[in-house]
Amino acid sequence: MGVIRFERASVTDWLDSCCWGCGTPEVAPHPDDRLLCGACREELLSEPAVDPVGIARHAYWESHALRCCWRCLILAVDPDDEIGMCSSCREQVGRSVAEGAA
Domain extent listing, the chain: 1-46, 52-101
- What's residue 91's pLDDT? 93
Q: Which amino acid is at 83?
A: I
Any idea what DSSP says for residue 25? S
pLDDT in tens, 34-66: 888 999 988 888 887 778 887 777 777 676 666
- Alpha carbon distance 92, 83 (integer Å): 14
User: Are residues 85 and 78 in contact, defined by beta-carbon separation less than 8 angstroms?
Assistant: no
Q: Is the sign of the CA dihedral 44, 50, 54, 59 positive or negative?
A: positive
Average pLDDT of the chain? 80
Q: Which residues pair with 76 in a beta bridge?
A: 68
User: Are residues 98 and 85 in contact, defined by beta-carbon separation less than 8 angstroms?
Assistant: no
pTM comes to 0.37
